[in-house]
């Protein structure tokens, strides 16, 4: 393998029902930054059926080139055809870096592709940078239960592959004046590539809380005391048009669904306002919320770690203070 044969940054674009997933736009933002540092280009790879129309949107979000593969076989995600198509495109494009969202689809396809093209993969990165001298991608992720941050490199193989969680990177401002090259790639898929047959797709009815997109999060910790006390958080979320989230202790206690967990083994969030109520500030929790714009915390312990990452701290009983905040807010709104 001649490392210098590999050039450029490539982002796998995840679309579901022809909707580009937010994490892919976030990765285009990061990919563009890395491409500029390496003085190279950013390519977006789009797979699916009748998806060509999404290509321009990817250019508007930073891609210099879009390679799309359109086939009825790629209509729904199944791992074999998607792995085959993405591997072929990577083999043809020879990028130096490949970024994939760490979603359920990304976590399925990225390791398969890495194995097929015989390179390494660093999963669930929280920070990416490049060493401009060696062109090594510096892939940082929590390790040993979140107690250390490990920076991993892939010096002997190309491309360097990484998955990144949704909500960690920042997408670029959409610029509809950007121009880019859009090319079709024939993945030469046939029915024999379909080793799984989808008989029916049943979508979950329940309206899923998307705490990653919420501008305001009212987040509960064990200090809230009981499931009944959670009501005060919903009362505060309402006038602020926010969502309720929580620490792992709250999820483990069954006070909230797992999809609302913030942190290393939950979701990474970056709202405009993060209200931490009765949360101690363990590293695994902080890793998922420290990039929030404004952090306000209520904790009865003045030495709680959460105050170290907070813009504003209130020492006291959260279950008593939150209703007072809600009352004041309602006065302002009325
Ligand atoms: P506690 O640590 O019990 O803290 C409760 C806080 O409430 C204390 O600071 C206390 O002073 C305060 N308090 C008590 N009563 C009141 C009151 N009446 N009013 C105001 N404050 C009060 N945690 C996550 O959150 N997300 C993760 O994704 C995650 N992943 C993990 C992964 C691994 C591998 C490991 C080992 C741990 C992980 N954890 C995670 C767990 C994490 O280490 C902590 O145990 C957890 O965050 C603690 O939750 P907490 O702050 O709600 O509870």
Any ligand 1 atom below 6 A from CB of 246:
no
Residue 261: CB within 6 Å of ligand 1? yes
CB of 142 sitting under 6 A from ligand 1 = no
Residue 309 C-alpha to ligand 1 middle, in angstroms? 14
Residue 160 corresponds to which tokens in the numbers above?
A: 């360097």
What's the average model confidence in pLDDT over 215-240?
A: 95
Q: What spacing in Å lies between the alpha carbon of 248 and ligand 1's midpoint?
A: 7
Question: Cα–Cα distance between 70 and 161 in angstroms, integer?
Answer: 24
Q: Using CB atoms within 10 A of its CB, is residue 147 exposed (0-12), middle (13-18) or buried (19+)?
A: exposed
- What pLDDT score was predicted for residue 203? 80
Taking the centre of ligand 1 as the mean of its atom positions, its distance from the CA of residue 315, in whole angstroms, is 16
The answer, as to whether pTM is greater than 0.80, is no
- With the most atoms of ligand 1 within 8 angstroms of its CB, the residue from 252, 261, 265 to mutate is 265
249 in ligand 1 pocket by Cβ < 6 Å?
yes
Contacts of 142 (CB under 8 A, 6+ apart): 124, 126, 148, 149, 150, 264, 284, 287
Give the pLDDT confidence score for residue 330 in this predicted structure: 84
Would you say 295 and 285 are in contact if contact means Cβ atoms under 8 Å apart? no
Query: 332 pairs with which residues across the strands?
Result: none
Is 111 a residue whose pLDDT tops 90? yes
Mean pLDDT along residues 24-38:
97
Average the pLDDT over 97-120 and give the result: 97
Q: How far is the CA of 182 from the centre of ligand 1 (A)?
A: 48
**pLDDT score recorded for residue 167:** 87
> What does the buried/exposed string (b/e) look like for 269-307 if buried means 16 or more CB atoms within 10 Å of the residue's CB?
bbbebbbbbbbbbbbbbbbbbbbbeebbbbbeeeebbbb
Decide: 299 in ligand 1 pocket, CB within 6 A. yes
Distance 304 CA to ligand 1 centre (A): 10
- Kindly give the distance from the C-alpha atom of residue 283 to the centroid of ligand 1, in angstroms, as a whole number: 9
Cα–chain center distance at 42 = 19
Per-residue confidence (pLDDT) for residue 42, from 0 to 100: 98
* Distance in angstroms (rounded) separating the CA atoms of residues 280 and 293: 19
54-81: per-residue pLDDT in tens?
999 999 999 999 999 999 999 999 999 9
3-state secondary structure of 331: helix
Identify which of 215, 280, 225 has the alpha carbon closest to the alpha carbon of residue 247. 280
- How large is the average pLDDT for residues 70-96? 97
Instruction: Take atom 15 of ligand 1 and give the residue whose Cα is closest.
Output: 223
Q: Which two tokens stand for residue 199?
A: 């008989």
What pLDDT is attached to residue 205? 62
59, 178 in Cβ contact below 8 A?
Answer: yes
Q: What is the ipTM of this complex?
A: 0.99
Residue 324 DSSP code? H
Q: d(Cα 158, Cα 98) in Å, to the nearest integer? A: 9
298, two tokens: 């209520």
Mean pLDDT, residues 223-236 taken together: 95
Q: Which of left, alpha, beta for 146 (phi over 0: left; psi -120 to 50: alpha)? A: left
Is residue 178 in contact with ligand 1, taking CB distance under 6 Å?
no
49 CA to centre of ligand 1 in angstroms:
44
List Cα–Cα distances, 194 to 81, 110, 273, in angstroms: 6, 18, 45
β 42-48/160-164 pair status? unpaired
| Model pLDDT for residues 321-333, shown as the tens digit of each residue | 999 999 998 888 6
pLDDT, tens digit, 9 for 90 and up, residues 168-215: 899 999 999 999 999 999 999 999 999 888 999 888 766 667 899 999
Share of the chain above pLDDT 90, in %: 87
């Amino acid at each position: 393998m001649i490392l210098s044969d590999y050039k450029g940054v490539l982002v796998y674009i995840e679309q579901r029902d022809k909707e580009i997933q937010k994490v892919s736009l976030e990765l285009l933002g990061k990919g563009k930054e890395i491409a500029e540092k390496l003085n190279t280009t950013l390519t977006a790879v789009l797979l699916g059926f009748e998806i060509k129309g999404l290509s321009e949107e990817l250019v508007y979000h930073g891609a210099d080139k879009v390679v799309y593969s359109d086939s009825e076989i790629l209509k729904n995600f199944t791992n074999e055809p998607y792995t085959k198509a993405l591997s072929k495109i990577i083999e043809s494009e020879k990028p130096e870096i490949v970024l994939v969202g760490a979603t359920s689809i990304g976590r399925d396809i990225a390791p398969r592709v890495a194995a097929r093209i015989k390179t390494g993969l660093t999963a669930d990165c929280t920070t990416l940078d490049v060493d401009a001298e060696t062109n090594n991608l510096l892939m940082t992720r929590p390790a040993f239960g979140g107690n250390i941050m490990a920076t991993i490199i892939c010096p002997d193989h190309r491309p360097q592959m990484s998955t990144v969680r949704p909500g960690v990177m920042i997408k670029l401002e959409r610029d509809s004046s950007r121009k880019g090259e859009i090319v079709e790639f024939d993945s030469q898929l046939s029915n024999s590539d379909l080793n799984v047959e989808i008989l029916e797709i049943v979508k979950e009815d329940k309206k899923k809380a998307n705490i990653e997109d919420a501008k305001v999060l009212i987040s509960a910790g064990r200090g809230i005391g009981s499931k009944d006390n959670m009501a005060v958080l919903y009362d505060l979320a309402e006038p602020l048009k926010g969502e309720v989230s929580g620490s792992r202790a709250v999820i483990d206690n069954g006070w909230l669904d797992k999809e609302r967990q913030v942190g290393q083994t939950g979701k990474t969030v970056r709202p405009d306002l993060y209200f931490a109520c009765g949360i101690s500030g363990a590293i695994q929790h902080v890793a998922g919320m420290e990039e929030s714009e404004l952090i306000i915390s209520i904790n009865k312990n003045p030495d709680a770690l959460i105050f170290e990452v907070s813009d504003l701290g209130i020492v006291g009983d959260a279950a008593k203070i939150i209703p007072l905040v809600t009352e004041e807010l309602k006065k302002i709104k009325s």
